[in-house]
């Protein structure tokens, strides 16, 4: 009787240990879905030859839908940069943004952009970065989204735009997102060369 009762706690501990190992492995595997080790900005030569790469490096910008399907990044690497590998061609990308206001504005709150869908032609082997910008009214005709704010002191209304910049043609663009995307691609290529 005592042999049986002493084995039961030991077997229970072994079973719990195995469950903990399995769960730890699952959680690390789930993490690998969201993050990946940089082997190149494209992760493989095959992807580079047959796909387009869209980088989202503004943390407040969220790609929600890609061609009317829920968007999920292909890879998330350094500092929350989201990579989306796209088949070449025209894609409809729906996005929104949200950020807390800077403390210098005297109010606490959020600014958010309503959903905006923009279509763009993506070329194989090209990398793009998404830029969004806010502007005061009057709102022009065309593809713009509404901006909601509960913090601005004025009653001015704002609209926002979404643009995709090809990094191969971005040499004259001094926007921070473009510069950061170019530096990011250089960093990833440097990591890839160091690991080879």
**116-173 pLDDT tens trace:** 999 999 999 899 999 999 988 888 888 888 887 665 555 678 889 999 999 988 777 7
As a whole number of angstroms, the distance between CA 96 and CA 147 comes to: 10
Asked if the bond preceding 138 is cis, omega within 30° of 0, the reply is yes
Sheet holding 69-70: strands in order across?
69-70, 61-66, 89-100, 110-122, 145-149, 158-166, 127-136, 52-56, 82-86, 75-76
DSSP single-letter state for residue 50: H
> What are residue 116's DSSP bridge partners?
95
The pair of three-digit structure tokens given for residue 37, joined into one six-digit string? 């080790």
Minimum mean pLDDT range among 99-103, 114-118, 183-187 = 99-103
- Residue 11, pLDDT above cutoff 50: no
- Residue 100, pLDDT above cutoff 50: yes
The pair of three-digit structure tokens given for residue 196, joined into one six-digit string? 């080879």
pTM beyond 0.75, yes or no: no
As a whole number of angstroms, the distance between CA 166 and CA 130 comes to: 9
Residue 187 — pLDDT band, cuts 50, 70, 90? Answer: confident
Q: Could you read off the pLDDT of 19-68 as tens digits, one per residue? A: 443 333 333 333 333 445 544 555 655 566 678 889 999 999 999 999 99
To the nearest 5 percent, what fractions of the chain are helix, strand and coil?
35, 35, 30
As a whole number of angstroms, the distance between CA 18 and CA 9 comes to: 14
The pair of three-digit structure tokens given for residue 12, joined into one six-digit string? 């229970």
As a whole number of angstroms, the distance between CA 75 and CA 55 comes to: 10
């Amino acid at each position: 009787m005592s042999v049986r009762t002493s084995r039961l706690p030991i077997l229970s501990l072994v079973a719990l240990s195995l469950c903990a190992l399995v769960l730890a492995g699952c959680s690390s595997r789930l993490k690998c879905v969201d993050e990946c080790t940089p082997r190149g900005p494209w992760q493989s030569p095959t992807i580079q030859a047959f796909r387009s790469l869209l980088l989202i490096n503004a943390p407040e910008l969220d790609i929600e839908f890609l061609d009317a399907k829920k968007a999920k990044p292909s890879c998330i690497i350094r500092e929350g940069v989201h990579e989306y590998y796209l088949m070449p061609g025209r894609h409809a990308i729906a996005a929104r943004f949200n950020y807390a206001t800077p403390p210098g504005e005297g109010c606490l709150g959020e600014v958010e952009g309503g959903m905006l869908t923009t279509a763009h032609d993506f070329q194989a082997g090209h990398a793009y970065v998404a830029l969004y910008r806010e502007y005061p009214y009057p709102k022009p005709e065309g593809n713009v989204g509404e901006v909601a704010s509960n913090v601005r002191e004025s009653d001015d209304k704002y609209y926002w735009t979404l643009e995709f910049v090809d990094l191969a043609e971005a040499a004259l663009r001094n926007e921070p997102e473009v510069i950061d995307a170019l530096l990011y691609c250089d960093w990833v290529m440097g990591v890839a060369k160091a690991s080879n």
